Structure 1
Amino acid sequence: MNLFSRIGLGALVAAVSISTVYAQAVMQPTDPSAPKTRAQVRADLIEWLAAGYDPNDWVNYPENAQEAGRIVAQRRAERQGLAPTTVQ
């Protein structure tokens, strides 16, 4: 193989690799019931904790979780550019 064919082969392999990575990134499942990765679960937990959820607060459990859920939903809607909802 001469130098130009090796360069062409390398460029072809790079293009295929990049297109494969791009296709996997674009084709992520949008189904909310699909399994989440560990990083996604951790990000969700951090978001809930930032919204005021305390997993150790058993006295105010249902209200604490529901309020944090409303805050998280509102923040996600605002990030996606949807109309903001009121937090009750």
Structure 2
Amino acid sequence: MKLLINTVCAAVILVPMVSHAAETVSRAQVIKELEQLEAAGYNPGVADDSYPANLEQAKEVLERQKNAADS
């Protein structure tokens, strides 16, 4: 029984650590993405109700630019 409890505890601790390690994003990558979004029209400093729409619009602009560059 103690072995089972130890195994479950180890799994609960290790699974999130392993999954998080697979998704590692560097600070430079985050800054680069933010700069790209700001160049596409996103303004994170604006304190109004346009937050989700503003971000989504900037993502769409980036996606259109990427598609245009690929074709």
TM-score, normalization: structure 2?
0.56
Aligned length in residues: 49
In 1: Cα distance, 2:51 partner to 2:60 partner: 14
More helix by percentage = 2
- Structure 1 Cα separation of the partners of residues 68 and 24 of structure 2: 24
Residue 12 of structure 1: aligned partner: none
User: Equivalences for 1:69-84 in 2 at 5 Å?
Assistant: 69-79=59-69, 81-82=70-71
Task: Return the letter of the residue paired with 2:34.
Answer: L
User: Which structure is richer in relative contact order (CA contacts within 8 A, separation 6 or more)?
Assistant: 2
Q: 1:61 Cα deviation (Å)?
A: 1.4
When the two structures are superposed, what TM-score results if normalisation uses the length of structure 1?
A: 0.47
Question: Where does structure 1 differ by over 3 angstroms across 4 or more consecutive aligned residues?
Answer: none
Rg larger for = 1
Unaligned runs of 5+ in 1: 1-32, 83-88
* Match in the other structure for 2:8: none
Once the 2 structures are TM-superposed, how far is the Cα of residue 56 of structure 1 from its aligned partner? Answer: 2.1
d(CA) in 2 for partners of 1:42 and 1:74?
21
In structure 2, list runs of 5 or more residues that go unmatched. Answer: 1-21
Q: How does 1:20-31 map to 2 (within 5 A)?
A: none
Q: Once superposed, what is the RMSD of the aligned Cα atoms? A: 1.9
Structure 1 residue 34, shift from structure 2 partner: 2.6
**TM-fit CA distance, 1:72:** 1.4
Match of 1:51 in 2: 40
